[in-house]
Each structure stands twice: as structure tokens, then as C-alpha cells.
Amino acid sequence: MTRDTTAGADGEGASYESHPARRLWAGVEPIHALVYFAPEVSDAATEAGLKGWFMGYFAGRAAPLGAIGPEAVGAMFFGFAPEKVARALPDAWSFASPREVLDSRLDAVDRALARALPADVDLTRLATLLEHAAGSCDFGARPLAAAWSGVRLPDDAHPRLRVWLAATVLREHRGDGHVFTAVDHGLDGLQASVTHAAAGLAPGQRLLVSRGWTEKQWERALVDLIGRGVLDTDGNLTEAGVALRDSVERSTNRLASAPVRALGEYAAEEAIALATPLARHLIDTEAVPVPNPIGVTRP
């Protein structure tokens, strides 16, 4: 894989955060991320027979892939300790089938969105735009996004659930690209998490615990990154580390650009403008807390 870190390509300028693919992600990610914080979703997983929040997380996010095992899920989810994934999968499928997990998750997400989003907002146009963007994705080498793109909603599904599903496809498309650009930059899942924390995008201790790493594993990754000149001895990004993170994010934007190009400049900006107030509402009402392990912030 060849890295392209040239500024200016596909709208990349001085800051990777100004790229339209990044701004679209910033607008839709909180909508998707409600699934990780809504009590409706965790309660539905428990009612389906799953044991604990993380079994619900791994099974729920992986359900469109079928009764998949921990090795493949660990590779796709990337940032989690293998032992943590293996405590949830494949055992989850002995309590509920992937179809049962997916159906209960979608129902719970719909109820959570109905509660958390403003009651008077019309989501039809945003749903149409995001579905067009998601439908334009190339899913080659993007297994998680491809699996979610195959999920079908009922014809009478509420626009809020259509928005959520399209946002999910788009974020997993971006996420799949982010994983293989991180690998291309020489980072494994733990090292990527350590640099994520060092960049101030998520609390390090929360990442360590939520991703299932031990203090010893985290410390070993710190030592490795210090040895490579990515971090200084205080655990902060060096100049080279900042450049590495910037290159990863620019490459991620480039790889996530196809849906934005498919929309065209005007429709892409319209989608961002429609999604951003919803994202802000979810964060301002603490339906999606900040800071969080995802690194999503108020757009």
C-alpha cells in the first residue's frame, strides 16, 4: 500500500480536520455512537441473553458478519486486546443468533434515537443524502462496512433509523480505511490507541481499560513508541509523532473521500449542515458523553 500524504488532494489543506470527509464524519459519528451509550441498547442485549456490556458490544457490532469468531473480529475492530474479544466471542452466539442480536439492536437504536433526538426534526432529507453516500462506497478490503451495507431495513422504517444505518455504514467504511492506513504507518492496534491518547483525542486510562489492555502491555507500547521517536519520555507526541498522526488522518480522509465525491460539493455540505446540529444536540444533552474512547467531539 502506498501512502499519499500530499496536502491539497481531495480538499486537504492546512488541517486534516477541514477535509469534507472528516467534517462529514464529525457530523454523523455522534449519531452512530449513541448505540454505545444508550440504555435501550444495553438492555436489549441483556434481554437477548448476552452477558455483560462488552459481549453486547462485540456481538452487536459484528452481527451482520454472522457467527464470526474472535480472531477476525479482533483484526477488524483493531484496537482491542485479543483476550477481551475472546471473552465475548464466539460464546455470544450460543445465547442469541446474529440475526436475533441484529434485530434487537436495530429496534433498541430506533427507540434510543426517538428519545434522544429532537422531536420536531425532519430527518428524511438527511436519510436520503446519507443513503446515497453509503451506497456509493467501494467496499473492497472493508469487511465491516461491507457487512453493514448488507443490512436491510423494513420499507416503513423511520427516517431516524435510516439515518443511523447509513451513518453506520459510512463510519465503518472510514474506520476500515483508518485501520489499514494505521497498519501501513507501522502501528498495531495498541500502538494506535496509545498515540490516539497522546494526541489528546481520548483519555489514556479509559482507553486502556475499555480496550482490555493491561498496564504492562500499555507500558510496553509506550516504550516501543519512545524508541521509534514517536513519543518523548513523558509520553507526549514528538514532532515526528505529530507528523505521523497527521499523515494517518490525512490518509484516512483520502480513503474516505469516495462517498463525499459521490454526493458532490453542494450535497455533501448540505448533509454536514443537517447532521451537525443533531450531533451537537446529542453531545450537549450528554446522550453521547465527551470525552469518550472513540475520540468524537462536538463538531
**What's the pLDDT tens digit per position in 3-49?**
433 333 344 455 888 999 999 999 999 999 999 999 999 999 999 99
Among residues 66, 61, 60, 42, the alpha carbon closest in space to that of 52 is found at 42
Instruction: Give the residues across from 231 on adjacent strands.
Output: 237
Query: For the purposes of burial, counting CB atoms within 10 Å of the CB of 47, is it exposed (0-12), middle (13-18) or buried (19 or more)?
Result: exposed
Extract the C-alpha cell encoding 31: 449519531
Q: Is the pTM of this model over 0.85?
A: yes
What pLDDT does 13 receive? 53
Instruction: Give the residues across from 237 on adjacent strands.
Output: 231
Does 188 score more than 70 pLDDT? yes
DSSP string, 164-218: HHHHHHHHHHHHHHHHHHHHHTT--HHHHHHHHHHTTSS-HHHHHHHTT--HHHH
Within 10 Å of residue 287's Cβ, how many Cβ atoms?
Answer: 18
- Our CA angle for 202, 204, 206, nearest 5°, is 80
- Tell me the pLDDT of the chain averaged across its residues: 95
- Residue whose entry in the numeric block shows the C-alpha cell 425532519: 122
What pLDDT does 16 receive? 86
Does 283 score more than 70 pLDDT? yes
**What's the pLDDT tens digit per position in 53-111?**
999 999 999 999 999 999 999 999 999 999 999 999 999 999 999 999 999 999 999 99
| d(C-alpha 136, C-alpha 113), whole Å | 25
Does 286 score more than 50 pLDDT? yes
Distance set, CA 258 to CA 49, 95, 263, 292 (Å):
39, 38, 9, 28
Q: What's the mean pLDDT in 110-118?
A: 98
DSSP string, 57-83: HHHHHHGGG-S--HHHHHHHH-SS-HH
- Residue whose entry in the numeric block shows the C-alpha cell 436489549: 44
What pLDDT does 15 receive? 85
